[in-house]
A and B are shown apart, each in its own frame.
Chain A
Amino acid sequence: MPALRQLDPLERPPVIGEDVRYEDVNRRIAGIVTAPTSKGWLIGFGVAFLFVMLFMAAVTYLFARGIGIWGVNVPVAWGFAIVNFVWWIGIGHAGTLISAILLLLHQEWRTSINRFTEAMTLFAVACAGVFPILHLGRPWFFYWLFPYPSEMQIWPQFRSPLMWDVFAVSTYGTVSLLFWYVGLIPDFATMRDLAQTRGKRLLWGVFALGWRGSAHHWKQYQMAYLLLAGLATPLVVSVHSIVSLDFSVGIVPGWHSTIFPPYFVAGAIFSGFAMVVTLILPIRHFYHLEDFITIRHLDNMAKILLVTGLIVGYGYLMETFIAWYSGNIFERFMVLNRIFGPYWWVWAIVIFCNVMTPQIFWSKRMRVNLPVLFAASLAINVGMWVERYMIVVVSLHRDFMPGAWGMYSGTFWDWSTLLGTFGLFLALLFLFIRGIPMLSMAELRELVPSPRKERK
């Protein structure tokens, strides 16, 4: 209806297909859940599950033998585990960003992807969350990181950024979950009322909490949702800032830098959106959601990739400049060592993937060219992982005392743990797609022309 048209006066591709009717929303989105399981889904889930098994094997061996099975050593006492942690957390940022910040900014194009990206956030945070525990030398004492009244009368040490991490990540996980669930309540109600068998209706009904869609409900609901968005916005910024403090609080050259918080947050959004693109393109294709996830979305996401990519590039630039400007020989050596040292290839990959790749998005043709977009998003995902590798490993392997320098490389078990979390992530994603409406029907209804029932 006209109200909608006014939303974007410029001639941009619409945020939702022209000919989508009100009832299509139910039919096509709820349909995905109610339809019988497809062979494609089974195969996809099966493959993901195999990697989950690999993950389980790696973790079991890890607990049995100790983290010595990884490549970590002294001086490089942090390796894949922390790299993966930071990378996954970063990916976990796009979801809340899209749901919360874009909501506050009235970017209505977020509507058709927010549910999906929130789910992605949750699963990414879940994958990230395992690493702080896995990487402990004595994981069975992980609970010592929580302030509980122990009979030893000894407590955690709150000056440590790792403690901040514990709270930041757990808070982020919890709030994202709440946010996601609140958003789901009306759709659960829809599913409850669409469901055929009584069993299904009961199941959905439990989650729907008896949602009736009354005006009162909607009023309070929108208020709560808005407040949650308002809370999630500073949260999402704070979380990766705090993760970055793990490094910038340390004195290691290449860590000890004030630019880290903004630069990490940008990096997080960067990798997060890259992951969204990577996932949404195939799903959009297989589940024929072109009408709901339109070229407009992809175009916008490509732009965000470009912007955040530029910010990240600026981060690299400043690091280098400050290293030279500070006159600190350790900082200078760190930069030179990154570029020309034994790990020069890491630096090269980072620059290519994170700085050069997004530049192609200056061109609109590239932004809307799906294969290019997909390839670029993959490159950025890799690039951001390698960037964290650069920050963690390349900074540590040559710090202050040459006599203690060393080299690092991941082992078979490092890699299997990383791949394992991919499996975990995808498996959860498959289950989500299959079991829960992956787009917010309640919100989509606001975007389509309202119906007019025939009188009988």
Chain B
Amino acid sequence: MSQLFHPASNALSRFLIAGALCGIAVISTLAYAYFRSDYFTHRSLTQQQPIPFSHAHHVSGLGIECQYCHTTVEVSSYAGIPNTETCMSCHSQIWTNAAYLAPLRESLRTGNRLRWTRVNDLPDYVFFNHSIHIKKGIGCESCHGRVDKMPLMSKGHSLQMGWCLDCHRDPGKFIRPREEVYSMGYVPNPSQEVVGKKLVAAYDAKPKTDCYTCHR
């Protein structure tokens, strides 16, 4: 018997070749999906925070305006994180000895700053400016998501470059009236296409996709 291979090997060899080709396709598809997945971008991932602060409670529950805490959002690149005193302006009156607010009171007593973990973070080579986005009618919600539905803060969107470009290429899809900038769950009326076109013209919202717009 001088046959070297089993008869099945013919079928097998061809199957293996086909399999290898399919494998490449599958792997690249998986990679594509992975780098856009919430798992990779940390979207809707909540971080360990010194105080379990609930935007849901403060925004939708108490209806506190965004700028009440994020004071510099209209004037500066940074929106601003409330300092201890801002928090205490209410919490010296209410929940004055809630256990989970202990770090806050501690901070006021000792003067040690609270150390929050960043949720919406951009790389150091990206220069984002809040004031201009507010000015041009881009709502908090458009980037940060339904903060009013977040018991614990998490990223509303991937914040990847491609995601930024979606809006910078066609702001009409996201722009809203300035008075609606801070509102959550804003519904365009009549429709975003119509409103968007009007507002883009009205606010002269011509975002650039030049590199220097964000990278310097």
Which A residues are within 8 Å of any B CB, using their own CB? Answer: 149-154, 192, 198, 201-202, 205, 209-210
* Contacts known (A192-B4, A205-B5); A151 close to B35, Cβ less than 8 A: yes
**18 pairs of residues in contact across A and B, judged by CB atoms under 8 Å:** A149-B32, A150-B162, A151-B35, A151-B158, A151-B160, A151-B162, A153-B161, A153-B162, A192-B4, A198-B4, A201-B4, A202-B4, A202-B5, A205-B4, A205-B5, A209-B13, A210-B5, A210-B10
Q: Which of A149, A151, A198, A209 has the most CB of B within 10 A?
A: A151
The interface residues of chain B lying within 8 Å CB-to-CB of A210 are 5, 10
Residue of B nearest to A152 (CB): B161
Report how far A198 CA is from B4 CA in the complex, Å: 8
The reply to whether A152 and B32 contact each other, CB–CB distance below 8 Å, is no
In the complex, are the beta carbons of B5 and A152 less than 8 A apart? no
Given the complex, which residues of B lie within 8 Å of A202, measured CB to CB?
4-5
Give Cα A33 to B180, complex, Å: 80
Contacts of B10 in A (CB 8 A): 210
Tell me, in angstroms, the Cα distance from A201 to B5 when the chains sit together.
10
State how many angstroms separate the Cβ of B157 from the closest Cβ of chain A: 12
State A201–B10 Cα separation when bound (angstroms). 17
Contact in complex: A152, B4 (CB < 8 Å): no
B102 at the A/B interface (Cβ < 8 Å)? no
The number of residues on chain B lying at the interface, defined by a beta carbon within 8 Å of a beta carbon of chain A, is 12
Q: Does B36 contact A (CB under 8 A)?
A: yes
| Distance in angstroms between the alpha carbons of A287 and B101 in the assembled complex | 86
B158-192 vs A, CB cutoff 8 Å, 1 = contact: the mask equals 10111001000000000000000000000000000
Complex: how many Å from CA A224 to CA B14?
20
Q: Contact at B36–A151, with CB atoms within 8 Å?
A: yes
Which chain B residues in 88-125 approach chain A with CB under 8 Å? Answer: none
Chain B residue, CB-CB nearest to A153: B162
Give, as a whole number of angstroms, the nearest-CB distance from A212 to chain B.
12
- The 8 A-B residue pairs with the shortest CB-CB distance in the complex, in nearest-first order: A153-B162, A152-B161, A151-B160, A205-B4, A151-B162, A151-B35, A153-B165, A201-B4
Q: Which of B4, B10, B160, B161 has the most CB of A within 10 A?
A: B4
A152: B residues at CB distance < 8 A = 160-162
B161 interface neighbour in A154, A198, A201, A205, Cβ under 8 Å: A154
Measured between alpha carbons, how far is A198 from B36 in the docked complex, in Å? 50
Residues of B within 8 A of A149 (CB): 32
* Contact partners of B160 in chain A: CB under 8 A: 151-152
Contact between chains at A151 and B161 (CB < 8 Å):
yes
